[in-house]
Chains A and B, each alone.
Chain A
Amino acid sequence: MSQPFFGMGFRRRYAREIAEKAEGMVLEIIPDHFLGRQDELRSLSQRHPIVFHDVGLSLATANDRWRKARLEWIRPLVDAAQPILFSDHVALTRSPEGFDLGHLGPVLYSEEQLAILIDNIGESKAMLGIPFVVENMAAPFVFDGGDMDEPEFFRRLTHESDSGLLLDVTNLVLNARNFGATPEERMADYPLERVWQLHLAGGADKSAAFWVDSHSGSPDDETLALLKKIRERAAPRAVIVERDANYPSFEALLNDVANARAAWEAP
């Protein structure tokens, strides 16, 4: 079983340090940050393995009028960077009538929703031409009455769309805290054999008796400890440490990546 690449989300504030101190580290790119910057992206891809991460496809939305246009402007960036994976979330970010949530919205795990997602992932894969992975979100709440639970939904979705799972380990931990069950219990039913990428983050806030993913700290011990269990069934190609707030020194971020690698490789 090959080792995954370990790395971080590319943020321009760290561009100089990445060039100087992180040669060969996998970088996760948000396409919006590189609009019109194909040359810079091409240069980065010559020094780093690249994965793309999007929040704008709104893969769950039925009858969406904007996805195709977004894919069309992302495609030149994919051509320039040749990423090994492209990811987005199993979520709504806009409604069919065109209101913009500005963040991820939850879905009902129904057969109809599954079919829409499979179609939308198929369209995205066809336009981008690279392996596609779908991410689990930190749920604000869970709808009753679905045809299946989240792990079964992801199992069917990844198999029937021939895509991988981007397992956000932190989101899994937070969902376990918020909705009952241990992370190990929740994880046991996930299609870990379909995990092609992992996300790790930290700094979760608990307000109003509810845990919220803030991406503002280092991955905690509970999250890192799960890597050993995931390793038993999964062979991800990339493990990414996410950081979107309370930005630390680059050395501290490198340390987070090193800790993730150590947790993954621990005997």
Chain B
Amino acid sequence: MSLSALQNTIVRLALFADERARFVANPSGYLAPIRLSDRERRALASVRGVEWDRYANSLIAKRADELVRVFPRTVKIAPSLRSAYSGWLRNNPPRVLDDVIGDETCAVTGDVGRDVIGGVLPPAVAEGLRWLENSGGVWLESERFATYAADLARFEAMLRASHNDGRVRSLKSRFAIPNLAKEIGEGTLPLDPECEPTEIRFSRTGCEWRRMR
């Protein structure tokens, strides 16, 4: 159906910076292989590049605002987290399936719940996990941040995720991340903590952890 192609194109132009750049540079060339009616081609081309960019930036800003709320402590030791995520998102938008957890769930949109909502992940938490897995984890492991930054981010995202969907998750770290998270929450920024290999288990009720030998 032509409408499906039109909608796929609208969403791609809004979400993929590289596709948007190709479209703005040569609208008819970009649209040529897509099965659209002449009217739909004209409709897409009637929107100026600056309008597409403004809309795309507003979508990124909204997601970034939500994402930083998943990592309140990590942001304190990696203040550029928001811009790093935004840059990555420009060509790596989420698929709806990324928000789907389990058999009886579906995509969820809405704000970032601080509360147990049972069975599914709020989109920002799902997005936080996706970013860590695909880009954020490596970025936080770079030398510019504290050595525990990536594990702290994993801790924050997994704690929220298990709290919401009830799935048990585990994390092994070289550091006593729950203690570090507590210190950061209280306003301290540990600079060079001792190595304390730790295993953390997350569930709906919170986390349990133990030091490993």
Q: Do A and B bind each other?
A: yes
**Chain A residues packing against B (C-beta within 8 Å):** 12, 30-37, 55-56, 60-63, 66, 69-70, 72-73, 92-103, 105-106, 108, 110, 112-113, 116, 140-141, 143-146, 208, 210, 212, 244
Select which of A32, A66, A144 is within 8 A of B122 by beta carbon.
A32
B91 to chain A, nearest CB (A): 12
A115 to chain B, nearest CB (A): 9
A102, B122: Cβ atoms under 8 Å? no
B134 to chain A, nearest CB (A): 15
With a CB–CB cut-off of 8 A, which chain A residues contact B94?
99-100, 102
Q: Residue B8 at the A interface, CB < 8 A?
A: yes
Q: A62-B1, A102-B62, A106-B10 in contact; A32/B109 too (CB < 8 A)?
A: yes
With a CB–CB cut-off of 8 A, which chain B residues contact A144?
42-43, 46
With a CB–CB cut-off of 8 A, which chain B residues contact A60?
7
Chain B: how many interface residues by the 8 Å CB criterion? 53
B118, A35: Cβ atoms under 8 Å? yes
In Å, the complex CA distance between A37 and B164 comes to 12
Q: Residue B59 at the A interface, CB < 8 A?
A: yes
A113, B3: Cβ atoms under 8 Å? yes
Select which of B7, B93, B96, B122 is within 8 A of A62 by beta carbon.
B7
With a CB–CB cut-off of 8 A, which chain B residues contact A106?
10
Q: Name 16 extra pairs, CB < 8 A, besides A97-B11, A210-B54.
A: A35-B108, A36-B117, A56-B109, A62-B4, A62-B7, A69-B105, A70-B107, A72-B106, A73-B106, A94-B11, A99-B11, A108-B43, A110-B39, A143-B44, A145-B39, A212-B58
Q: Residue B111 at the A interface, CB < 8 A?
A: yes
Considering only residues 84-125 of chain B, those with a C-beta below 8 Å from chain A are: 93-99, 104-111, 113-120, 122-123
A213 to chain B, nearest CB (A): 10
Select which of A100, A113, A210 is within 8 A of B93 by beta carbon.
A100
In Å, the complex CA distance between A16 and B113 comes to 17
In Å, the complex CA distance between A194 and B213 comes to 69
A35, B120: Cβ atoms under 8 Å? yes
In Å, the complex CA distance between A56 and B110 comes to 8
B96, A98: Cβ atoms under 8 Å? yes
In Å, the complex CA distance between A101 and B51 comes to 16
In Å, the complex CA distance between A62 and B2 comes to 10
**Smallest CB-CB separation from A96: which chain B residue?**
B4
A179 to chain B, nearest CB (A): 11
A108, B6: Cβ atoms under 8 Å? yes
B106, A145: Cβ atoms under 8 Å? no
With a CB–CB cut-off of 8 A, which chain A residues contact B40?
108, 145
B93, A56: Cβ atoms under 8 Å? no
In Å, the complex CA distance between A96 and B1 comes to 11
Q: Please, what's the 1-or-0 string for B33-75, where 1 marks a CB less than 8 Å from any CB in chain A? A: 0000001101110111001101100110011000000000000
B106, A66: Cβ atoms under 8 Å? yes
Q: Please, what's the 1-or-0 string for B2-18, where 1 marks a CB less than 8 Å from any CB in chain A? A: 11101110111011000
29 contacts across the A-B interface (CB closer than 8 A): A12-B114, A32-B108, A33-B113, A33-B115, A35-B120, A36-B117, A62-B7, A66-B107, A70-B108, A72-B106, A73-B104, A92-B7, A95-B8, A95-B10, A95-B11, A95-B12, A97-B8, A97-B11, A98-B96, A99-B8, A99-B96, A100-B95, A100-B98, A103-B58, A108-B6, A140-B55, A141-B52, A144-B43, A145-B42
